[in-house]
Chain A
């Protein structure tokens, strides 16, 4: 893979990764959010695969494809099933209004950029320069966890953070060992399954998946 082409495709993958992460905050429709998450999985897989192709590392390329499959197909499939079982498909009233959360994201982006500069300066390559993007998505994921009400949004927020961590790992190093990545992915899968169980139980108990209802358990 030639250098300019590599840089361009890598940048494009990073751009798509960021865009999908941010759009999760924009949409209220949970089905659309799952779609966006799947697209982000594709972008993440492409990102890893591009790095693998550039460094002629077969294992990395295959890993990219695997990660892509897991995050673009399997996890969205699970979530879609959870959504189909549920009754309401919209994030009707988030704690922070959509417009405001988009503006907050703008500030988060700037913070991520400022914070990650020392990291970039360690080894300024095209890949490390995209670290701020991973960090932004991490913050966005956290923000989703903080402000959204539906259990499924929480899952997506959590997975966004995980995507971001994976992306950061692959951008800064030539990749984590396969075993570690497998372990992490399995963890994620388990977490999603656990959350799915939680969603089902919540729906049985409260008739909805609004996390604010959990407050009742406090008393």
Chain B
């Protein structure tokens, strides 16, 4: 409790620190300063800190807050939870806060992400507004999982939405595209808030109070429960970036500043999952099977759709954004399967599926924090996020490259990465569903396994593309050519996240017991996984040992070169030219770009993606047969956006233009509207009574 309060307090302190007046760095001091009152001004100036100092202090305080929150969350997961009621803080119900294992898990994840992001942010010299808002955003992120009442939850949620919106908007002066992204984000996130608000208020209306304890025992009709679940699901899915409500995500991430997108992707989208678990499995105590079918289907759809677009994307941050949609889809498959098994009465399987889902939340937060930090560093160093124009960063940014490689390995769910462990658990829970759950399970599970498998395969291709094309080979653009290694704090932030990734990858057995507490809180069915070195499933036969696999791999990696070295007779490597077919040196223009790398996949999935391409041929004036210029353009539009959102937006625009005729600028006309309305209402009232 005290730790948590300290964390919140430090967030506020960091925001206040950022608000302190600052002086310009000494080198920039205007030389011809007026002499009058110069001495006083000089003393004041010396007392006010520089921007750099403020950034360091603010970042350090935020990081400390994150660390405290992480510890508080872990303590809650280990059973040292607490609850508090502050009746006077908000009108009506007051603020109820409590940290149980489930909330503790999400608090801990948020704390961990905050530490990395805050350290990373110190070196990037963020603008003043960003410095102020980031700690507030973190505070909101900490508030949501700790809320124990509808009022506090909605307050935290809205604070989270507002602060994140401000952060998305932060760089609107530098890049005009940011404004459009922020508009999308604002609309989507607030529509989500409205549905959650409606759902939770409806739920609270059926209970005696707004505390979660009172909501758990509320007596509700099945129809009301259905309405509550579906409305809140829509809101939470929008926050988690689930198809078809994902449209804000690939726009907002590229728009946000470098150290903010890790916070959004590693911590904020998790809150959508938290909401689904909290409301669906905890407050409503599970539900009919079809709820979880919907969740599972949405998850599978998001996973496939997200990874397909990630595989096509050439913008590094957009790629990572779509990858978030994919990973949240995988998590929702796990959550849906858990609810499904729980509704079916298969408790142990449900616990396993939920464990897998929550572990994947943790893993995703770890590797996505790392990847987004690296992407931010790359953008700052090269000025571009376009993979087609990057390349050759291996020699120019060696640390960032190595750390991105770790993140990419984890994200592509290959051993020895952490994503592999959670996907393994998820698959195990799905393939052992058959004998237990009848027809529904028999139809759903194979398709779900197929979807996960295709997602995993495409994720491998995606991250090979992101890493191989973006960081290896030779630079393809001027930005990549003059890139330099990122500041030291940025590397520390990334290294911390990478260490977390590796820890989770090698020692999931140390994390899982704490995670199990969060699971048993919702699905009381014992521990699904045991073991110290080897991960063993308790109810089904299955085991795996990530650390031994990693050790075996490392051993083989040492042994093989040693063996070759022992046999080989010439030790020295000779530098040589690349094979260029005898046609002169290979230039960077001949390299494979991200677009060309993804082209075979684009052709395979042409029905699903419907890419657009156009060729403009400009002929010379004299003859139509002599071509002056050929221009080829290709892009892969978001189909959901095209089919679902654009018609709605177009209709809204039409309505707006149509309504413009109502307002022609004449004051008399406006007054007459009021007059007609008033008399109309009076007449109606007269008729009714």
Contact = CB atoms under 8 A, between A and B. Distances in A.
A–B direct touch, CB within 8 Å, in complex?
Answer: yes
B498 to A, nearest CB: 38
Contact of A97 (B438, B443, B607): B607
A174 interface: no
Interface in A77-133: 97, 99-100, 106-107, 110-111, 113-114, 117
Nearest to B444: A110
Contact of A113 (B443, B450, B604, B607): B443
A69 B631 CA distance: 62
B603 to A, nearest CB: 11
B607 A110 contact: no
Interface string A43-85: 0000000000000000000000000000000000000000000
B626 interface: no
B627 interface: no
Contacts of A114: 439-440, 443
B647 interface: no
B442 interface: yes
Nearest to B440: A114
| A interface residue count range (under 10 / 10 to 19 / 20 to 34 / 35 or more) | 10 to 19
B446 interface: yes
Contact of B446 (A100, A110, A111, A117): A110
Contacts of B447: 106-107, 110
A188 to B, nearest CB: 32
Contacts of B607: 97, 100
Classify the interface of chain A: helix, strand, loop or mixed. Answer: helix
A100 B447 CA distance: 15
A147 to B, nearest CB: 13
Contacts of A107: 447
Contacts of A99: 604
A136 to B, nearest CB: 13
Contacts of A113: 439, 442-443
Contacts of B439: 113-114, 117
Contacts of A117: 438-439
- The secondary-structure label for the interface of chain B is helix
A117 B442 CA distance: 11
Nearest to B450: A106
Interface string B433-461: 00000111011001100100000000000
Of B439, B447, B450, B607, chain A has the most CB atoms within 10 Å of the CB of B439
A137 to B, nearest CB: 18
A97 B608 CA distance: 12
Interface string B651-677: 000000000000000000000000000
A113 B604 CA distance: 29
A65 to B, nearest CB: 35
Contacts of B604: 99
B455 to A, nearest CB: 15
Nearest to A107: B447
Nearest to B605: A99
A172 to B, nearest CB: 18
A16 to B, nearest CB: 21
A99 B447 CA distance: 16
Contacts of B446: 110
Contacts of A110: 443, 446-447
A99 B454 CA distance: 14
A136 B591 CA distance: 48
B272 to A, nearest CB: 28
Interface in B603-648: 604, 607
B610 to A, nearest CB: 13
Contacts of B438: 117
B269 to A, nearest CB: 29
A107 B443 CA distance: 9
Nearest to B438: A117
Contacts of B440: 114
Contacts of A100: 607
A110 B604 CA distance: 24
A117 B438 CA distance: 10
Contacts of A97: 607
Nearest to A115: B439
A145 B5 CA distance: 68
B430 to A, nearest CB: 15
A154 to B, nearest CB: 23
Nearest to A111: B443
A110 B440 CA distance: 10
A114 B442 CA distance: 9
Nearest to A99: B604
B602 to A, nearest CB: 14
A110 B450 CA distance: 13
B52 to A, nearest CB: 57
A113 B447 CA distance: 13
A174 B172 CA distance: 76
Nearest to A120: B439
Interface in B590-610: 604, 607
Nearest to A117: B439
B453 to A, nearest CB: 13
Contacts of B443: 110-111, 113-114
A43 B641 CA distance: 48
B604 to A, nearest CB: 8
A117 B439 CA distance: 7
A99 B605 CA distance: 10
Interface in A113-168: 113-114, 117
Interface in B72-105: none
Interface string A14-51: 00000000000000000000000000000000000000
Pairs A-B, 9 closest by C-beta atoms = A110-B443, A117-B439, A114-B443, A114-B439, A100-B607, A113-B443, A110-B447, A113-B442, A97-B607
Given A110-B443, A111-B443, A113-B439, 14 more contacts: A97-B607, A99-B604, A100-B607, A106-B450, A107-B447, A110-B446, A110-B447, A113-B442, A113-B443, A114-B439, A114-B440, A114-B443, A117-B438, A117-B439
18 contacts: A97-B607, A99-B604, A100-B607, A106-B447, A106-B450, A107-B447, A110-B443, A110-B446, A110-B447, A111-B443, A113-B439, A113-B442, A113-B443, A114-B439, A114-B440, A114-B443, A117-B438, A117-B439
Interface of A: 97, 99-100, 106-107, 110-111, 113-114, 117
